[in-house]
Amino acid sequence: MSSGTGDLLAGGADGPGRLRALTSVVLDTLETAARARGGPLPAGGPDAVARRTAALCDPVLPEEGVGAEAALADLVRAVAEGAADPADPACVAHLHCPPLAVAVAAEVAGAALNPSMDSWDQAPAAGVIEELTTAALARLVHPDAPAPDALITSGGTESNLVALLLARERAAPGPLRVVTGANAHHSVHRAAWMLGLPAPVVVPCTDGRIDPAALDRTLAALDCAPALVVATAGTTDEGRIDPLPEIADITDRYGAGLHVDAAYGGPLLFSERLAPLLKGLDRAVSVTFDLHKLGWQPVAAGVLAVADTALLAPLSLRTDYLNADDDTEAGLPDLLGRSIRTTRRPDALKIAATFRALGRRGLSELVEHCVRTAEEFGRAVDARPALRRRPGPVGISTVLFRPVVADALGPEAGDAVVAEVRRTLLLDGRAVLGRAVAEDGDGHHRLWLKATLLHPVAATADLLPLLDLVAEAAERAARGEGDGGGGDSEGGGGDTAAPAEERLSP
């Protein structure tokens, strides 16, 4: 039809040609920028990053545009040179995964076609792909349920919110009491707050997991008030899995609902060897399951699985422009009740492409790689006299450890050294480690460095340099030579053969 569309748009028959040219600018820039960064994140800390970034992309809204190629070259360079790149084995702070190329490529198609998942006339085939994908995920989580179902969400936060919403509606006139472990994700508390529910009752944990006896006492004290117990399969801080079978026995006994937040641990189900760690998961009425963590999807790829599709009824909604009764009666699928959102991305597409490309076995191998690597990394920590691992097993793929020099300094100064080691490595651009407060062998809570190992191909040997960096930064911090607190770097010690720091002074 009109001649100009090929110059601007990504869709149609002309769009892909234009997109190919622009995509090659993007890909070339990503390649050179990763080399220019030369590490897991940019050196110099927030001020230096802000200055370099602004230099490349300010003004963001110029009076006259610079054109697509130039804009992309600048902005992609800025965001990639200044990225914390989870594809670097030294980027292990969070449940922040390196995405698979197949999933990212599928995202390109999804973005170019731009289906919106709230009505059939915006997403005829994308809706079918979502339906097939959620059905497969539902069967994975609740294999023996007669009518399991699953929703695509923006992540664990939304999944937990919707799970609590559905439980609130089941409990009406309620009010629903939410009972959760001290190890639960903050989004459980926030969901209760957003839904106008009483603040969750918090059950103490032993060794990072819900204590079943304490849960039993808590439910007894609630005296038959409608309750939803939220357990966690893969805690964010420690990767610990609550004792699901015992918890399900207790919720059965009290007639309470059970929701399991398996945002992190859910993908263990792909592996026959590891799935038994989630025994009892299928007894939950609803399960949060993220694929942008142990599933290597670009954000967002969240799932909420429910044991029975009828549980989703509270989400159904009629609105004339999206799902009029006569359209639905005439056979147009009604998608609106599949989310609390309206306009919604085709996130199922990249998930489906990944599932089909790798198969369950391929995904299982990636999950098992992460778990095995974490065990080996944990043993490597144990073998270093300068470092100490948090006592107990490695949680899924999370290893907590701290430098031994911190222990001699007393509780506060010791924790301060741990925090400083993390910040020093961040500001130097050499490693992205996380932090977690967790119980030590003596029952005291201490600050630990956290390595969340989600790299599906990095070998253990690729991760070992992290331990050298930590040991060396800890020695310096304990001697008062660190700079992680934001003060000026002394830089004059010259005590080791460490690479020269390339800090940009403000």
Ligand X SMILES: *Cc1c(COP(=O)(O)O)cnc(C)c1O
Q: Which residues contact 241 (CB under 8 A, 6 or more apart)?
A: 209, 232, 233, 234, 235, 265, 277, 278, 395, 396
Tokens of 229: 């117990």
Interface pick for ligand X out of 120, 264, 270, 448 (rule CB under 6 A): 264
Question: x/- string (CB under 6 A) for ligand X, residues 186-215?
Answer: -x----------------------------
- The runs of H, that is alpha helices, within 82-155 are 101-113, 124-141
Is residue 73 a contact point for ligand X (CB under 6 A)?
A: no
Is residue 157 a contact point for ligand X (CB under 6 A)?
A: yes
Q: Which residues contact 54 (CB under 8 A, 6 or more apart)?
A: none
Q: Which is nearer to ligand X, 81 or 290 (CB)?
A: 290
Is residue 447 a contact point for ligand X (CB under 6 A)?
A: no
Q: Which is nearer to ligand X, 52 or 96 (CB)?
A: 96
How far is residue 338's CA from residue 309's CA, in Å, rounded to a whole number?
Answer: 10
Q: Which is nearer to ligand X, 130 or 290 (CB)?
A: 290
Q: Which is nearer to ligand X, 219 or 301 (CB)?
A: 301
Q: Is the peptide bond before 148 cis (omega within 30 degrees of 0)?
A: no
Min dist. Cβ of residue 263 to ligand X (A): 4
Tokens of 301: 């790829």
Interface pick for ligand X out of 149, 211, 238, 290 (rule CB under 6 A): 290
* Span near ligand X by CB under 6 A; candidates 110-118, 257-265, 466-474, 488-496: 257-265
- Total residues found in the chain within this entry: 506
Backbone angles phi, psi at 452, to 5 degrees: -100, 105
Is residue 484 a contact point for ligand X (CB under 6 A)?
A: no
* Span near ligand X by CB under 6 A; candidates 51-59, 150-158, 304-312, 466-474: 150-158
Min dist. Cβ of residue 348 to ligand X (A): 16
Residues 300-319 that bind ligand X (CB under 6 A): 302
Burial of 347 from C-beta contacts in 10 A (0-12 / 13-18 / 19+) = buried
- Position 491, amino acid: G
Min dist. Cβ of residue 108 to ligand X (A): 22
* Span near ligand X by CB under 6 A; candidates 31-39, 102-110, 152-160, 439-447: 152-160
CA-nearest of 292, 294, 336, 328 to 312 is: 336
Kindly give the interhelix angle for 156-171 and 186-194, rounded to the nearest 10 degrees.
50
**Considering CB under 6 A, how many residues would be counted as binding ligand X?**
14
Chain positions contacting ligand X, by CB under 6 A: 95, 155-157, 185, 187, 232, 234, 236, 261, 263-264, 290, 302
